[in-house]
A and B are shown apart, each in its own frame.
Chain A
């Protein structure tokens, strides 16, 4: 009963090559989106990409530099991850687009058999603002490691993304921190994003293999958001999907909800809607209620490294003394490796202290996100998403002290919060 390493197709992954991908007809688009069911504004869909058929709502773990910190690709498969994110700016710097291209693209480089998505480098305009110089031409970044300069233009970003080869690529947008007080800057960014989208579309050399998503900007101003939406929708023929950007920064949750509620339903129904930088489990439920399909965030993996596990009630801080003698797993219903083999007491001893603890908690937190999205998908198909959302919210706020932004979102979504 020993598995045969040479004959058994289920034997843990051999290295994938581009030859493994299904032969692709250049005339058919590499993305198809089918909404299986709608419940209120929420949708359950199949997003078919060249390398994986994804079920949405979908959470996409972030593997900025080509790995989801501490985990191997095999472990990502175990938790049923569908899409992994890579970052254009970071991978373009190190190891460089040419190395990734030579490997056969990001999926071959990190041996990830399913789908990938690359962010354009736009967010680094915010996160690395001190090192960035933004002009109409593009963004000049100064590397924090060796001071060398990289000029990231829309053309350059798309070129790097073409080399990295992800299934979904993002347009380079002019991203402004949402807490900027300068409306003129937001206006400039909104219009520039539209001008840049044309340059992105023109520069995209592999539309038959990679799907370009446009990003709605406009800060916290609904008028600017409408300008951005209009510009993007006019270019809809070249944009298989859309994202809502410029959020998940420091803005208030009420503003966040207002913008998402406004933009999500104004994006086409027959294309995927991706909210960048979201988020916490509660954010996923709220945004799905408002009509979004795809999410990415570093929070689950990052908070894991700091010893916090995601649970239905919210967060479990494993270093807390209350866990010292708690011999239950993090979550009894969870099927992840960590919950099957470790108790809270054991994790309490090693959280933030041992390298493996970071991996164990990351595995749980990402699996939690996957299960949450899967549960939402099923609930929408079974036409009980309202109940699901309500139960989820009350699990997190058992005494009924539901925050204003959540109540506002449920109003938009027409989900009744009264028990």
Chain B
């Protein structure tokens, strides 16, 4: 498996960087893909996007590539190898039935070590053959993870010293680092080391134990990664405690020559939000600059902006899927030019709407307000930019509203396609701003937008009330 990361450009004022991941199947020359960073990974279920079939996923990417090429293409290098998002696949989803998989490996470990070595070799060979028959993985960067951000249950009771408990198609199973590492041959370009990830409010003592255990498991994962020839990303934990975080980060960074990247684990797991920023900064401080950093679980735009500025390269797109599963479509502006006549004072256009459940980032398509709304999710009259996703180009709010009310699955297909397109489009714009030197303007705009969307209006003056009443009467 080929995996390579290069940092091409560093922002002057922040720690943000533009990079590129090159990945592909080793055997075939030229069969590689390029993923520009900061980038986003799409969540999957059993190796692929839960809802969107191959054609739709490719359609979303193709449309966005075309739009970028035609509208903003001058400084972008786009060719057939360019990808706009990667995928994160979950170890637990690939666990085989106990007859052949975990149980057998565990029995081998319990038995004679030499025999275990040979059988493990055989197991790997058989797995590799089976995977080879399936064909090479998609050329989209595929990162193997233990944490399923869509359904992540941080169950601290079932953590054992020997591994973690994860959801598999055959129920909950505990997995040791060895068992986990062997899942990845042929399925991923990069594997994330197994870590003892825990809830964010865990005590200092438990956070320390988990961090130490994680480093021990890292050694195991490094060994397995060399045997399986899969590049490895090390995970830094530490809970809410700066010193534990720093210590863990340094320890993991010591393994730098065996690692292809780093994961900031255990965030967005219930820790105190106000502490999160300094914890992330503290971890990154000790990580080498030339390797990619992945921060799973980030949801809000502000956080994405903040973390890009801290030097995070890879995020995940869970927010897009979560928003779609609630029947909501992203409508947030991507560039300041997308906002027409934005008056921060009155800000009528940006106000959350109690009657439809809209907020500044998405609209609630369940609302009966959309029953006869034959405009697309992102409507040219309220935004300066047209959305070229399959849902907006081909369908309307009224149609998707109807599909939701009728409990038709196509509603999820269209919402997921749109939300993914929009989020990936945001990342593309972030990269463009970094490249063009307009990052400060881009970041400021989004921070102001986020702040104004939470701004609680003071008691209405007569002037404001009159304007509001007029809007209601329309």
A residues engaging B (CB < 8 A)?
A: 2-6, 12-15, 65-67, 69-75, 78, 90, 94-95, 99, 102-103, 109-111, 325, 327, 337, 341, 343, 345-346, 349-350, 353-356, 358-360, 363
Contact = CB atoms under 8 A, between A and B. Distances in A.
3 A-B pairs with the lowest CB-CB distances in the bound complex, closest first: A70-B409, A65-B406, A67-B410
B394 interface: yes
Given A67-B410, A72-B413, A356 B49 contact: yes
Given A67-B403, A94-B406, A346-B134, A73 B50 contact: no
B51 A355 contact: yes
B139 to A, nearest CB: 13
B372 A99 contact: yes
Interface string B414-453: 1000000000000000000000000000000000000000
Contact of B409 (A12, A13, A75, A358): A358
A141 B242 CA distance: 66
B151 interface: no
Nearest to A110: B399
B398 A99 contact: yes
Given A5-B388, A337-B53, A65 B408 contact: yes
B134 A6 contact: no
5 contacts: A12-B390, A94-B402, A95-B398, A354-B46, A355-B409
A5 B70 contact: yes
B394 A111 contact: yes
Given A99-B372, A111-B396, A356-B48, 20 more contacts: A2-B66, A2-B69, A5-B63, A6-B70, A12-B59, A12-B393, A13-B394, A14-B394, A66-B408, A69-B410, A72-B56, A72-B394, A99-B371, A102-B372, A103-B399, A109-B396, A337-B54, A353-B46, A355-B412, A359-B413
B405 A95 contact: yes
Interface in B45-96: 45-46, 48-56, 59, 62-63, 65-67, 69-70, 78
The interface size bin for chain B is 35 or more
B398 A356 contact: no
Given A5-B388, A74-B394, A345-B134, A95 B374 contact: no
A94 B405 contact: yes
B398 A109 contact: yes
A67 B394 CA distance: 13
Contacts of A349: 46, 169
A99 B402 contact: yes
Interface string B382-393: 000000101001
B66 to A, nearest CB: 5
A359 B403 CA distance: 16
Interface in B357-388: 371-372, 374, 388
Contacts of A343: 133-134
A343 B131 CA distance: 12
A145 to B, nearest CB: 10
Contacts of B388: 5
Contacts of A67: 403, 408, 410
A15 B396 contact: yes
Contacts of A95: 371, 398, 401-402, 405
B124 interface: no
A377 B62 CA distance: 35
Central interface residue in B69, B70, B371, B399, by most chain A CB within 10 Å = B399
B130 interface: yes
B395 interface: yes
A350 B55 contact: no
Given A109-B399, A356-B50, A327 B133 contact: yes
A8 to B, nearest CB: 9
B378 to A, nearest CB: 14
B409 A69 contact: yes
Given A12-B59, A72-B413, A363-B53, A353 B399 contact: no
Contact of A359 (B53, B133, B393): B53
Central interface residue in A2, A6, A102, A109, by most chain B CB within 10 Å = A2
Contact of A15 (B46, B55, B133, B395): B395
Contacts of B396: 15, 103, 109, 111
Contacts of B414: 72
A74 B390 contact: yes
Central interface residue in A67, A73, A346, A358, by most chain B CB within 10 Å = A67
Nearest to B55: A337
A72 B408 contact: no
Given A67-B408, A74-B394, A103-B398, A4 B51 contact: no
A90 B408 CA distance: 13
A356 B394 contact: no
Contacts of B133: 327, 343
Contact of B374 (A14, A103, A346): A103
Contact of A66 (B55, B67, B403): B403
Contacts of B405: 94-95
A103 B46 CA distance: 38
Contacts of A110: 395, 399
B418 to A, nearest CB: 12
B70 to A, nearest CB: 6
A273 B350 CA distance: 56
A3 B66 contact: yes
Given A355-B409, A356-B49, A13 B393 contact: yes
Interface string B114-133: 00000000000000001001
A12 B62 CA distance: 11
